Amino acid sequence: MELYTALNLVVFCALLFLIYRLSSKSQSLSRRVFTGLVLGLIYGFALQLLYGTGTGVMNETLNWTNLVGDIYVRLLRMIIMPLILVTMIASVLKMDAIASVGKIGVSIVGMLVLTTAIAALIGIGITLITGLSAEGMVAGARELARADVLEMRRGTVSGLTLPDVIASFVPTNIFNDLTEARDNSIIAVVIFGILSGIAALLVSKDNPEQGATIKSFVDAVQAVVMKLVRMVMGLTPYGILALMTYVVASSDADDILNLISFVLASYTAILIMFGVHSLFIMGTGMNVRAYFQKIWPVLSFAFATRSSAATIPLTVRAQVEELKVPAPVANLAASFGATIGQNGCAGIYPAMLAVMVAPTVNVDPTAPMFILSLVAIIAISSFGVAGVGGGATFAALIVLSAMDLPITVVALLISIEPLIDMARTALNVNGAITSGVVTTKMLGMQTESAAPMMAESAA
């Protein structure tokens, strides 16, 4: 290990200790997460200035600092499937009517698809207003190689139909899906959990004695899993520090500056969509400021990791414990929101790319039929993102292929993909949480423990 690497790690350990001191002083989790985020940004930027991207000292330093982030993300991914399975079974057992599960699911999916369509319109509008176009974009060696890979993958999505995607949601081997072996494993486990909960509920009605035993066992397992979630949540500030250090230090400033107009336009569209979510939250009678204060750690983690799936445990916990969303709604919103109707990846991004590339093939992106067709395809294909995996890239491939548009533009943006994907992921997660809050209000399932927050809104 080089001397400079060792010095860098000493500084990093000092930053970790600083966050630990904040926890010992009973600072709130939100404040510690914000501290970790800011320290990661500053430290990553300092490493970038001192060593530059891709140098030996930089790579060795990031290999060690990112160990903290990798372990944290792995711990979260470790508890995703147990959390979904156990809490879905427990949630169904606590419901009075099996039909309620269907109502919740329809409401959440409907909300996710609706907001994705709105996100698509925002992406189209911002792209037209700013005049972004794929014309004149230059492809380097890395972009050309990426384009070749995408062309090969295009065949995997061009023949994809909505019935195929829906059928893939149903598990054929639940043990396989519990290992996240498929892109649709999360939804598959949700379905298995719901069916298992319904079966347990029917057993309870047929045999109350067995039902009491089942409920007692499920409650005990759920308590253990939720305690595990809280333990891992306590590590969030440290994970955020490491992850943000890696993201900032490994970014190429030249690439960002070359495509800064697209970066700014993307962030503008994302911020506007956050505003749309806020309007929905206000419509439920909830105080928007209090809402974002409570979910700040979740959005910070989503921003740093760029993984909606890894954020599921935090999303469920925030809804249940902070926003007082009933467990069945919280679990379905978090699980479906990570795989269906992602506002950033499946809404804004493919819409912007389609409008940018349309003029290169003599298609008018302002034509009403083009816009209507694009929004409709985005809304429908938002179900297909989970079916093919790859997040925003595959969402763009599906939409551009369906519109008969070239896909090279996806490769041209590879250098700034991580920077934009951070905000897109945070928007995806916020869309999932919003769908849970709105569904709770629509179905009249608000719990009494949410009263203080509602009262704050009225004050």
* CATH architecture assigned to 3-458: Orthogonal Bundle (1.10)
Between CA 91 and CA 157, with CA 381 as vertex, the angle to 5 degrees is 115
pLDDT value for 375: 94
Which amino acid, one-letter code, is at 392?
A: A
For 192-209, the pLDDT digits (tens) are 988 998 898 889 888 989
Q: What is the mean pLDDT of residues 328-338?
A: 86
For 75-130, the pLDDT digits (tens) are 888 888 888 888 888 878 876 556 677 788 889 999 999 999 999 999 999 999 99
C-alpha to C-alpha distances, 309 to 116, 301, 429, nearest whole angstrom: 18, 11, 9
Q: What is the mean pLDDT of residues 383-397?
A: 65
pLDDT band at 1 (very low <50, low <70, confident <90, very high): low
Which range among 227-231, 385-389, 431-435 shows the weakest confidence by mean pLDDT?
A: 385-389
Q: Most confidently modeled of 238-252, 363-377, 411-425?
A: 363-377
For 211-255, the pLDDT digits (tens) are 889 989 998 998 898 888 888 888 889 998 998 898 888 876 666
Which is higher by pLDDT, 157 or 281?
Answer: 281
Q: What is the dihedral of CA 314, 315, 321, 322, to 10 degrees?
A: 110
How far is it, in rounded angstroms, from Cα 365 to Cα 371? Answer: 7
Between CA 351 and CA 374, with CA 132 as vertex, the angle to 5 degrees is 20
Between CA 234 and CA 163, with CA 187 as vertex, the angle to 5 degrees is 155
- Residues near 306 by Cβ (< 8 Å), separated by ≥ 6? 418, 421, 422, 425
**Residue 441 confidence (pLDDT) above 50:** yes
For 32-54, the pLDDT digits (tens) are 888 888 999 899 989 988 888 77
Q: Where are the domains of the chain?
A: 3-458
Which is higher by pLDDT, 73 or 283?
Answer: 283
pLDDT value for 259: 73
**Residue 458 confidence (pLDDT) above 50:** no
**Residue 148 confidence (pLDDT) above 80:** no
Q: What is the dihedral of CA 400, 401, 406, 407, to 10 degrees?
A: 70
pLDDT value for 141: 47
pLDDT value for 455: 36
Q: Most confidently modeled of 76-90, 257-271, 328-342, 420-434?
A: 420-434
DSSP letter string over 180-211?
A: T-STTHHHHHHHHHHHHHHHHHHHHHH-HHHH
Q: Chain-wide mean pLDDT for the chain? A: 83
